[in-house]
Amino acid sequence: PDLHRSVIPLWYSFNGHHLGWSDSWFFFINSATSALMIFMLAVLANNRERHEKYLQECTNLVMAADTSLERLLREVTGDTLENEVATISAPEVGKVQRAINFYADLVGTLLGICLLTVVLVAWIVIGPIMLFDANWWLLIGTYAGLIGMNDGFVLRNLCNICNRQEDTQYDRRILEDKGLAAIIGGDSGDEETAQTTCLDVRFSIAMGNFCSHEYTVVAGVVVIIALILTASLMHWSELGQIICNVPPSIIESFFTLILITGHNIGDEQRRANLQIIYRSRLELISRVESWRA
């Protein structure tokens, strides 16, 4: 977000006056934010891959410790009953959130790919009719910009919901481990999870929560409708389509920055939680082994 706050005012105050607020002025920021977004998406994909690999390794260690702990407890107690099936209840959602989930399911499946293919084919077909002019090139950019902006709102919303669900389950597991440790008589596991106290981090979290709210997604749809109406009133001229391209491009790049920040914060939290859970498992195993000895 800091990069975004510095680049946009610079573009607005300097290049706008220098270029006479022309179409080129719009194209500069549109091209810059598009290139920036591609770079940030690559960074985000790399971060997610490394994060998932580390989490999988941590989860494997916790599962191995769980298996050892269960085996020891069964040997000590003589318990032969099968474990109960663990279930995680789905959160209750309202009509707005349900509609957001439906849209995400739609575009994230084969049907969404088919719809995108239809749009691309239609765009190519009308190319000769429009003589492959600037408006024709802007059409696909307008579509990508408007849909991409909406997808950015939806993606941030779903990521925030998933993160809250994961945090709830991690906190519940940590509390259960503390209860087991208290029963066995070992360390109660008073470690604290990672806390984010820096002002810029707290601001990023607050901004992420605001942008991921379901009503913010609705507000994004309203903005998209307003942009479409504006372009329609301008008869979908070059300027009208540029107006539909630039704001979505800026918003998309901003949301990508928020996604990276949110991912990094969540990554730190997950690592701390898994370390606490793993240490508690080792402590429980140590206590049970001392009993058996």
Phi, psi torsion values for 233, nearest 5 degrees:
-65, -25
Would you say 169 and 263 are in contact if contact means Cβ atoms under 8 Å apart? no
Range of the domain at 20: 2-83+90-292
Sequence-separated (6 or more) residues with CB below 8 Å from residue 93: 101
pLDDT at 10: 53
For the entire predicted model, the pTM comes to: 0.76
Cα distance between residue 167 and residue 172, in whole Å: 8
Would you say 48 and 262 are in contact if contact means Cβ atoms under 8 Å apart? no
pLDDT in tens, the chain (293 residues): 444 445 555 555 555 556 665 667 777 777 777 777 788 888 888 888 888 888 899 889 999 998 898 888 888 888 888 888 888 887 888 999 999 999 998 888 888 889 989 999 999 999 999 888 888 888 888 888 888 889 888 988 988 888 888 888 888 888 888 887 777 765 555 555 555 557 767 777 787 788 889 999 999 999 999 999 998 998 888 888 888 888 888 888 877 777 787 778 888 888 888 888 888 888 888 888 887 76
> Can you give the length of the chain in residues?
293
Task: Please give the angle made by the CA atoms of 232, 237 and 238, to the nearest 5 degrees.
Answer: 130
Convert the pLDDT of each residue in 175-195 to its tens digit.
888 887 777 765 555 555 555
Cα distance between residue 179 and residue 184, in whole Å: 9
Phi, psi torsion values for 147, nearest 5 degrees:
-65, -40
Count of CB atoms within 10 A of residue 263's CB? 17
pLDDT at 23: 65
Concatenated DSSP letters of the chain: -HHHHHHHHHIIIIIHHHTTT-HHHHHHHHHHHHHHHHHHHHHHHHHHHHHHHHHHHHHHHHHHHHHHHHHHHHHHH---PPPPPP--PPPP--HHHHHHHHHHHHHTSHHHHHHHHHHHHHHHHTTTTTTT-HHHHHHHHHHHHHHHHHHHHHHHHHHHHHHHHHHHHHHHHHHHHHHHHHHHTS----PPPP----HHHHHHHHHHHHHTSHHHHHHHHHHHHHHHHHHHHTTT-HHHHHHHHHHHHHHHHHHHHHHHHHHHHHHHHHHHHHHHHHHHHHHHHHHHHHHH-
Total count of domains within the chain: 1
Tokens coding 75 = 């040997």
Would you say 73 and 79 are in contact if contact means Cβ atoms under 8 Å apart? yes
Task: Please give the angle made by the CA atoms of 40, 43 and 45, to the nearest 5 degrees.
Answer: 110
Distance of CA 142 to the CA centre of its chain: 23
Convert the pLDDT of each residue in 81-138 to its tens digit.
888 888 888 788 899 999 999 999 888 888 888 998 999 999 999 999 988 888 888 8
Cα distance between residue 280 and residue 287, in whole Å: 11
